[in-house]
Every structure is written in structure tokens, then in C-alpha cells.
Amino acid sequence: MSLGLSPGSANMVTVYRNLLKLYKHKDEAAQQESLNALPKSFLQKIVDIIGEQVERSVEANYGEVCVFDSKERLQQAIKTVTLHELHFLQETERNKIFWRIPNDEDNIPRLLSNMHNSLGDLTLELAMILKTWSKEGVAEEQRGTALSEIVDFLRNYNKQKLVLNHFNLKFLPGVFDGQSWVFRLRELALVGNHLTLLPRQIGLLQNLTHLNLSNNELTSFPEEIGLLSNLTHLDLSENKLTLFPTYIDSLESLKVLALSKNKLKRLPEEIRLPPYLQSLDLSGNQLTSLPRKIGQFGSLRLLALCENQFASFPDQIYPLKELQTLYLSSNQLTSLPDQIGQFRNLTMLDLRGNRGLKSVPKSLFDLGRNCTVNMIETRLSESVLDDLQQVFSAQGYTGPKIRLKGDIAHIPPPSPQEGS
């Protein structure tokens, strides 16, 4: 038996509900599952109390066995733990729990059920940790407001999302190893704070699918992030990362990765990405080229390279024939390669703000009719603009929609087979 959290424990079950199941169940296997799902502190209290009942110093191994030696001793230990939690609550909280069973401290199943409904996962231990964390905050941090959001999440065991955006937080509380986080939390948003570090406990959030850390001050993050096997969306934009994050490739479920507006100057030559990554946003960095291996990640459908320092089209992406969206606006491109027409699945090619772009290859018109090419503010000469206008105004033109000025879309007329 592990004294920690059990991955097999059912989520959406609070500490108090597990105590109730442990109290009522007759099947030892079911009891064992509930026992394993308890936080370490609760489990150790139960073992210690039973040790006192049998009047001996309980060794760890014996404690694992003696818990189920006597149903009466187990129930008495659970009662002691329950009343300990209860008596440290504020009076208003106790009144909610004693509703319909005034001052009946012997009805442990009803007490635990009411504590489950009223407190969710807000245990005494968590409340004390959070209270201390809240008091230690500096003036500009809004830890009190953040505390209210955290407590609301813990109380409401049906909640799966926690939003702590724009609270100027510099540090997070060290509570993310509790079962409420590990089994229940699906989405965590920490946008617009001043975080420079993340707690390593964050790697325990095995059911997390969305993690938004944008607009913070992160320069790195713990390798435990790589343990988030169910993470599908990771937003690290607007931080201070100078190196491409390692362990990203361990996030096997990741589909969307945002790294815009950091301080990346290059990507590792041996770059590794998750196998199913579909969207990679590298805009707003200082990149001048891409590693050759980027072309191996054929799952990519969106690649954003806006506001970097590309002087030429990154030929490393030629193999990515399944790309649907390619953002290259506000770089230093002066020309486009003939191979541009090979990206037949593109629906958006954004070339805005490449003020050095003076011409376009004929292969641009090989892009599909469903593609929009945005070339606003590219300073194409009048003769080039006239040539473009003649091409996409011709009868039967089936190439892409081209935007050249302001919000005006130069859309080709319908082909004959489409009718009017």
C-alpha cells in the first residue's frame, strides 16, 4: 500500500467522501482504495490513532496491516479525525454542516456527507497552508482575491477549471499535490501575473488538459511539466524564455503550443516536438532561421512566424505539405520561392508588413481557391500590382484570394462551373 496518492482512485471524490467510504465499506479492497486516495496527513493520523488504541508504537509496515484488523478501531480513528477537522472550522461553517443534525457528533456518516457537500476538498491542512500563503503576499499581489478563487474551487467538487488571471502573483501556494488538484483539475489559467518559477508539484496534475501561463516572467520551467501526459494546450507566450523548452516532446497529447513574444533567437538543431502537435506559435521572437528537423513534424497545421527576423522564406518547412495556416507577417522577406505553390492545403498565407517584398512568383497562383493571401503593406510596385490584378480578374481564374490594400479583398470571380 502506498502512503501517497493512488492514480487509480476515482476523481470527483473528496477527502471526506473517501473517509465516509472507508467508514462504511465492508469490502477490504474497496476500503484499501479509499485509504490510498487519502492525503498522506490523513492516512498517517489514522495509522497513529490505531497505534495508540493497540498501545504500541506502530511501525510503517505494521500500520499498513493493522488499519483493517478491527472495524471498530478503524471507525473510531475516522471519527477522531473527522471531529478534529470539524472543531477547527469557523462557527458559520460548522452550522452549515450540522444543518438537520444539530450537534450530533455521533452521526459520523451524516457529518462526513455534509462536510463533503459543504467543504468539498477544503481540509483544515489546506486551509492553513492557504491562509499562511495569503498573508505572506506583498502589497501589489492580490493573494486575497486569488485565495477566494482557490477556496471556491476546493469547495465545489464539480469544478474542473481554476482561473487566477491578473492577480500580480509572484509565487503560487504549494498545494498542488492534493487529490483535488491531481484528479480533478482540467484547466489552469495563470495569465498576467509575475511568476518567475512554477512549483514542481505542477507535474502531478495528471488530468490537466489546458495550461495557460502567458504574460508572466518565466525564464524556464520545471522538467516535471513533461509528466503532464494529458495536456493538449500549453500557452507560454509573453514570457522571458531564451531557450526552447526541453521536455516539450514528452507531452504526448499536446496539440497547441504557444511561445510567442519571448526572447528566442534560435531553435535547437535537434528539436523534438510532440507527435500530434498541430499548432506552433513562434511569433514575436528574434528568429532568423529554423532547424532542418522542423520539416519532420508533418502533423503541423498552423505555423506562426510573425514578427521575427526572417530575411528569406524558411525553406526548412517545404516538407510540411499539410500546413493550412502560415503566418509570416512583419518579417524582412524580399521574395517568395517558386515552391510556395506546393502548399496546396493552405487556407491562409499571411505576408503583411514585409515591406521589402517586391515581387511574387507565378506559382503563388497555384494555391487553392480556398486560400487567402494577405499582402497588405508589402510595397509591391504598381506594375506588379497591375499584373496581379490582371491575373486574378481573368475569366476562369481558380487561384487564391489576394488582399493588397487595407481591408479590401481582391477576390476572384466565380469559375464557370460554380455558376452565379
> Does an H or E element contain 388, and which?
helix 382-393
* Weakest-pLDDT range from 28-42, 56-70, 195-209: 56-70
* pLDDT value for 25: 78
**DSSP 8-state assignment for residue 214:** -
**DSSP 8-state assignment for residue 182:** I
Angle at 325 between CA 319 and CA 330, to 5 degrees: 100
> Does an H or E element contain 128, and which?
helix 124-135
- Across the chain, what does the average pLDDT equal? 86
C-alpha cell at 288: 532568423
pLDDT of 25-34, one tens digit each?
A: 778 788 888 8
In DSSP terms, 350 is beta-bridged to: 327, 374
**What values do phi and psi take at 262, rounded to 5?**
-110, -150
Angle, helices 28-36/15-24, rounded to nearest 10 degrees? 160
CA distances from 207 to 108, 184, 185, 229, 245 (A): 31, 7, 6, 8, 21
C-alpha cell at 286: 528574434
Instruction: For cell 517568395, name the residue.
Output: 336
Q: What is the DSSP string of 142-178?
A: -HHHHHHHHHHHHH-TT--EEE-TTS--SS--S-TTS
Instruction: For cell 491562409, name the residue.
Output: 348
Residue 349, classed as helix, strand or coil, is strand
> Does an H or E element contain 179, and which?
helix 179-179
**Per-residue confidence band for 413, with pLDDT thresholds at 50, 70 and 90:** very low
Residue 327, classed as helix, strand or coil, is strand
* Inter-residue contact 353 to 377 (CB < 8 Å): yes
Nearest to 378 by CA among 406, 399, 401: 406
> Does an H or E element contain 257, and which?
strand 256-258
pLDDT of 336-385, one tens digit each?
A: 999 999 999 999 999 999 999 988 999 999 998 999 999 999 988 888 88
* pLDDT value for 5: 33
CA distance 167 to 149: 11
* pLDDT value for 57: 59
**Per-residue confidence band for 165, with pLDDT thresholds at 50, 70 and 90:** very high
pLDDT of 103-120, one tens digit each?
A: 555 688 888 888 888 888
> Does an H or E element contain 258, and which?
strand 256-258
Residues 6+ apart with CB under 8 A from 139: none
CA distance 273 to 387: 41
Q: Domains of the chain, with CATH numbers?
A: 15-119 (no CATH), 140-418 (3.80.10.10)
* pLDDT value for 99: 61
* Inter-residue contact 387 to 361 (CB < 8 Å): no
